[in-house]
Amino acid sequence: MDTPLTKIFRSRALKKYACGISTGMIPLSSIHEVFILLDSRDENAGDCVSLVNEFFRSRGIRPDIFYIDTGGRRNKEKAMLTDPLYTFQKKDLNWYGRPRKKILHPFLEARQDLYIDLTSRCDFTVRFLDTAVPARFKVGCSQQCKDIFDLTVTPQDSSAVSSPELFRGISAMLLTVK
């Protein structure tokens, strides 16, 4: 349960680090770099990474794939082994869930054209990343955080849809944006 002090600090962090870039739908022809966020506990993350790489590299777009693994030790056996340089871990967060400044600044300085959140989570850390990453076009699949995204893809039953299926839906929609 979040304490009132935690809520205050989280609210301030979301306001302070909100990217000032005006966002909106942009066509694939204008996209050069993509930031993808996956959940390391997703058992289909490996298949999704293959789809992401195939889709974007065939169009000359560089995908940067990052993972979030903020679960406790009990969930480690479910988590996929990921490169620590490309994974937001619990040790990389401060006491109220914001990524530490040394981890955060490289992401805030990089300008991404497209940000895709395939986590289906809306905890504070994911919401913070969704808000803070400076991208011109933001896509997500969480109904709770839909106010952050320019395009939200939500399945009828979120527990029955895998991340590769979500990415297929997102990529089909990206192809239609002109």
Q: Residue ranges per domain, the chain?
A: 28-176
Q: State how beta strands 151-152 and 87-89 pair.
A: unpaired
| 29-53 tens-digit pLDDT | 999 999 999 999 989 999 999 999 9
DSSP state of 78: T
Name which of 143, 135, 86 is nearest 115 in CA terms: 135
pTM of the model: 0.92
C-beta atoms surrounding 64 within 10 Å: 15
CATH architecture of the domain with range 28-176: 3-Layer(aba) Sandwich (3.40)
Residue 135 vs residue 111, higher pLDDT: 135
What pLDDT score was predicted for residue 56?
98
Name which of 92, 27, 97 is nearest 66 in CA terms: 92
Question: For 97, left (φ over 0), alpha (ψ -120 to 50), or beta?
Answer: left
Q: Return all residues near 55 (Cβ < 8 A) that are at least 6 apart.
A: 167, 171
Contact (CB, 8 A) for 135 and 109: no
Distance CA 5, CA 51 (A): 41
| 86-129 tens-digit pLDDT | 999 999 999 999 999 999 998 888 889 999 999 988 899 999 99
